Structure 1
Amino acid sequence: MKKLILLLCLYAGALQAQSVDSLISAGIKLHDAGDYEAAIDTYKKALAMDSKSFLIYYEIGFSYSALNNHQEALKYAELSLSFATQQSRLHPLILKGSALDDLGRTAESVAFYKEALKEFPTHYLLLFNYAISLSRLGNYAEAEQVLIQALSHNFNHPGSHLQLAKINLEKNHKSKAALGLYFFLMLENTSARAEENIPVLINLLYGNKKTSDDNKTIYLTVPDPKNDPEWASADLFFSILGIASGQIDQALRDKGAAQSEQQRFVADTEKFFKTLGELRDKRKKPKKKKAEQAFSIWWDNYIPFFSELVKQNHTEAFCYHIMAAANSTEVNEWLMNKEEKLSYFYLWANSNR
């Protein structure tokens, strides 16, 4: 009789565990579909069966965060942390730090992330979110270094490349910002973020122009060599590139040999990558420098990758690939009709980044 009762208890426990797991899975599907309130209701049903599950508390908090209810997100992140094991604390920690930041408690968020990094010092997502909070406080120099550290652990994280670009936009380092944007768009080319940042890259490349009748005013920002002497030449070239390209484009139009905006973008991107490669070849490294200071994500990661991309004749495929979210008929047709070229580019890119 005792054995029968034990078996029944075990069976009931297994059924409950299965039911909890099913509810969590259903909640995740609802969240992924954008139905965050229904997801929360589903998670709370699971919570009624298992009130000590760190995962359920985390998922509820994550859905509240998606609803921009950051106070509730913070509450459930803390509840999740109270039940999480050492190994399962990472995502609840990130959720709590993000909630603090989104509530305007950014200084608290930074302090919290510093403590969290003692537990997970090399995790790229924790470093990335820490950098976001640092950026919001205007601490761009430290945020940049933290992002570079995050990328050293996962160079394929699109958000870190994008945030690195944004920081350099704030610092008016156009070449660095462009490199980050190019790499971000290569990794994430069809999302809403991609669509939002394509115009940012185009504006970086060609600048702001105001036209009144036949008169054009072109705004050119000449970089201060004292600000970042190592990048003065690159930024000067980048500033002039758009103007020179416009003059060439007009000359071609006058001769009846006009190129499309996308063709012009391909040609100018190749010039930019080639020039940076040449500058890298001429660059003299300091004789005495600490190892961590000698390494540069720009000269040792981005530029070698893009220089080799040009040498391997993948610039065209790359440029059409990163413009997939541009809502351009020309781009869409090229992407449909040049599958072989794209395949060779993807094979090369996946092997070399």
Structure 2
Amino acid sequence: MRKKTLCSLGCFFLFLFGFSQTVQERIDQGVALHEEGKYKEAIQVYESILKDDSKNADANYEIALTYSSIKEYEKAIKHCDVVIKSKSEISHLAYLVKGACEDYLGKPEKAIKTFQQGIKFNSDYHQLYYSLALTSYNLRKFDDAELALISGIKVNPFHSSSHMLLGYLKNDQKEISTSLLSLFYFLILEPTGNRAEQVFKLIKQQQNRTIRREDSKNITININSNFDKNDFGTAEMMLSLLEAAKTTEVNENKSEFEIFSDSNASFFKILGEQRKDKKGFYWDFYVDFFYELVQDKPMYEAFSNQIYQTKNDPDNKQWLIDNPIQIEKLYFWLKTYKVKI
């Protein structure tokens, strides 16, 4: 009798293990079909799993992703709700997909609530902060978007899109210094590609915006009337002076890259020297970072060359080829840098 019982238990566990493995294999098959663009076939695979286990979190999440890919957002939301109710280890991902679907359906306020609920469920998932910020930004809720971005960056300082969006947001608010700091940090994380090109162009536009050149000898400096009420007001005034100085005799024999690098170095140093007892995210995160970076000449040289790649400058390309170790040191320092936030 005991032998039969042991045999029955053995068969049961074998069946249970085999079933679990089969389900995972089928989910993997559905994921592969999705990645190949065979969405209908992927849905059929997931539906076959849900027929046996309607509350399977993985299958519900994957089918929600597939439905969102073919713009069947209501169906996607329905499956996301199953995952969310399960409170499984992937529920935070379902909050993200659900919020995105609500946004696509023209319900941004609902999406915002969903992202906030997701953050409450898992405050360590930076993508929820970014999605919350993006939806808020599109609604012109800049303060909410900024708060979400800062919170997300504190969770994951290496999420380049968060720094980029923060840079664009501060640009919309005409706060040049904080925008530049965010955009420069984005470029160190993502120095090449279409987004890097657009960010580099915006940086140049912001720097040029501070002055108006009538000719090489007549330059008008634009100073914000409220500069003295802004923590970064003095830095922005100095930024205008640095931009105006680019065409003076001091820079006459310098290359465009050298002028760009030197001007940025001065900007970072000015901010660092103004730091003193100033507090806040931009001072604690960006200013401290760039001020420490500019103190190390080889490191700063690597940074300047790395972010200049979108200009397709021959000398810059050659420098990057000749100095791979300096670039490696830069990114090792970046990864090990202790953020003061």
Identify the residue that residue 48 of structure 2 maps to in structure 1. Answer: 48
Q: 1:226 to 1:344 in 2, by over 3 A?
A: closer
CA contact (8 A) 1:128 1:146 kept: yes
| TM-score, with structure 2 as normaliser | 0.81
The separation in 2 between residues aligned to 1:113 and 1:219, in whole angstroms, is 46
Per-residue CA deviation, residues 119-176 of structure 1 (Å, 9 max, x unaligned), is 3345433222222222222121222123222222322222222222121011010110
The answer on whether the counterparts of 2:211 and 2:244 sit within 8 Å (CA) in structure 1 is no
Identify if the C-alpha distance between structure 1 residues 200 and 149 changes in structure 2 by more than 3 Å, giving closer, same or farther.
same
Equivalent in the alignment of 1:229 = 230
Instruction: Specify the SS of the correspondent of 2:330.
Output: helix
Correspondence for 2:20: 17
Post-superposition shift, 1:47? Answer: 3.8
Instruction: Tell me if structure 1 keeps the 8 A contact 2:166–2:182.
Output: yes
- Please state how far the C-alpha of 1:263 moved relative to its aligned partner: 3.0
Q: Which residue, out of 284, 297, 313, partners 1:300?
A: 284
Looking at structure 2, the residues matched to 127 and 319 of structure 1 have their Cα atoms a distance apart, in angstroms, of 30
Counterpart code for 2:175: H
Q: Which residue number in structure 1 is paired with residue 329 of structure 2?
A: 344
Amino acid at match of 2:184: Y
TM-score normalized by the length of structure 1:
0.78
CA distance in 1, matches of 2:319, 2:125: 38
What amino acid maps onto 2:288 in structure 1? P
Alpha-carbon contact 1:97-1:113 (below 8 Å) kept: yes
Residue aligning to 1:334: 319
Q: Deviations over 1:160-212 (max 9, x none)?
A: 22222121011010110111111122123345433432322232233499999
Aligned to 1:292: none
Q: 1:198 aligns with which of 186, 200, 217?
A: 200
Aligned to 1:288: none
- What are the equivalent positions in structure 2 for 1:69-84 lying under 5 Å apart? 70-82=73-85, 84=86
Compute the displacement of 1:2 (Å).
Answer: 7.7
C-alpha distance in 2 between matches for 1:210 and 1:224:
16
Percentage identity across aligned positions?
A: 24
CA-based RMSD of the aligned residues comes to 3.5
- CA offsets per residue over residues 47-88 of structure 1, 9 Å max, x none? 413443222222333344455554454344234334x32543
For residues 322 and 33 of structure 2, the distance between their equivalents in structure 1, rounded to whole angstroms, comes to 36
8 Å CA contact retained: 1:207, 1:219:
no
Report how far residue 302 of structure 1 moved. Answer: 0.8
Q: What is residue 264 of structure 1 aligned with on the other side?
A: 259
Question: Which residues of structure 1 form unaligned runs of 5+?
Answer: 286-294
Q: Which runs of 5+ in 2 are unaligned?
A: none
By how many angstroms is 1:310 displaced?
Answer: 0.7
Retained in 2: the 8 A contact 1:210–1:216? no
Q: Distance in 2 between matches of 1:5 and 1:216?
A: 95
Quote the residue 1:291 is aligned against.
Answer: none
Instruction: Name the CA distance, whole Å, in 1 between partners of 2:178 and 2:80.
Output: 36
Please tell me whether the aligned partners of residues 210 and 222 of structure 2 are also in contact (alpha carbons under 8 angstroms). Answer: no
Q: Which deviations, in whole Å up to 9, do the C-alpha atoms of 1:283-335 show, x marking residues without a partner?
A: x55xxxxxxxxx41111121111011011112221122234455554443322
For the 8 Å contact 2:309–2:317, the answer to whether it is kept is: yes
| Cross-structure match for 1:322 | 307
Decide whether aligned partners of structure 1 residues 217 and 128 sit closer, same or farther in structure 2, where only a CA change above 3 A counts: farther
CA distance in 2, matches of 1:158, 1:296: 20
SS in 2 for 1:230: coil
Aligned counterpart in structure 1 of residue 100 of structure 2, from 94, 98, 111: 98
Measured in 1, the distance between the counterparts of 2:47 and 2:221 equals 59
Partners of 1:220 and 1:104 in 2: CA distance? 44
* Aligned residue in 1 for 2:158: 156
- Residues 112, 219 of structure 1: alpha-carbon distance in 2 compared, 3 angstrom cutoff: farther
- Between the two proteins, the alignment pairs up a number of residues equal to 331
